[in-house]
Chain A
Amino acid sequence: AQKVTQAQTEISVVEKEDVTLDCVYETRDTTYYLFWYKQPPSGELVFLIRRNSFDEQNEISGRYSWNFQKSTSSFNFTITASQVVDSAVYFCALSEAGANNLFFGTGTRLTVIP
């Protein structure tokens, strides 16, 4: 059975600080996909990234970067030079190859203080 753990329930940082959101997953499948979604205060879920289990290359997109390590079953998300607009709940999710749905973690609420 799959499981996604986001141990950090809430994080507060001061603007311009870097912050890392942790995600640890469990799956028995060898082929799976990992995702990050952002839920700002307005409530919608915004897709940020997808990574498949065969691609451990880290990815950077502007101030966002993701570190995927199969050895520790982790898919961590770092925001560099945080901004107030980054304040949101961030969800890590897992999808197994044979499944169709996303299995979400409980989310990490990030507050960036000006």
Chain B
Amino acid sequence: DSGVTQTPKHLITATGQRVTLRCSPRSGDLSVYWYQQSLDQGLQFLIQYYNGEERAKGNILERFSAQQFPDLHSELNLSSLELGDSALYFCASSVLAGGLNEQFFGPGTRLTVL
């Protein structure tokens, strides 16, 4: 158990809908990352927050947004969902920002868009 929690574990929804994925980092970790794992794109970095502020952006679509709250939990919002958004979404956390930090991953949220 990495100490990172994600809810829900599974999510099934329809095209055009909006969903929110939630992540709680390990105790003491200030940095939260979101990754998407799909069959065609592999594991891709989406976005990072550090202590409430956006720190880095990867291949995140404009239909997706995220935020980190004062208690350091983070939410990833996916809107106008398309079939291709079906994937496993991981949250990871680390103590600080920066490439040297080990990132510990949550169990993931499996999103299925029908």
In the complex with contacts A47-B102, A52-B100, A100-B108 CB distance below 8 A: no
Q: Interface size on B (CB < 8 Å)?
A: 28
- Decide: A33 and B99 in contact? CB cutoff 8 A: yes
Residues from chain A with Cβ under 8 Å of B58 in the complex: 101
Q: Interface size on A (CB < 8 Å)?
A: 25
Contact of A100 among B90, B98, B105 (CB under 8 A): B98
- Decide: B48 and A101 in contact? CB cutoff 8 A: yes
- Decide: B100 and A101 in contact? CB cutoff 8 A: no
- Decide: A100 and B56 in contact? CB cutoff 8 A: yes
**A-B pairs under 8 A by CB, number:** 64
Docked complex Cα distance between A98 and B108 (Å): 26
Residues from chain B with Cβ under 8 Å of A106 in the complex: 42
Question: Is B107 in the interface zone, CB < 8 Å from A?
Answer: yes
- Decide: A101 and B43 in contact? CB cutoff 8 A: no
0/1 string, A89-114, CB within 8 A of B gives 1: 00100011111111110110000000
Docked complex Cα distance between A22 and B42 (Å): 18
Name the residue on B nearest A45 (C-beta).
B105
- Decide: B88 and A43 in contact? CB cutoff 8 A: yes
- Decide: B48 and A47 in contact? CB cutoff 8 A: no
The DSSP consensus for interface residues of chain B is strand
Docked complex Cα distance between A98 and B102 (Å): 15
Question: Is B18 in the interface zone, CB < 8 Å from A?
Answer: no
0/1 string, A24-43, CB within 8 A of B gives 1: 00000000110101000011
Residues from chain B with Cβ under 8 Å of A47 in the complex: 2, 102-105
Residues from chain B with Cβ under 8 Å of A37 in the complex: 105
In the complex with contacts A99-B56, A107-B42, A44-B108 CB distance below 8 A: yes
Residues of B within 8 A of A (CB): 2, 31, 33, 35, 42-45, 48, 50, 55-56, 58, 88, 90, 92, 97-100, 102-108, 110
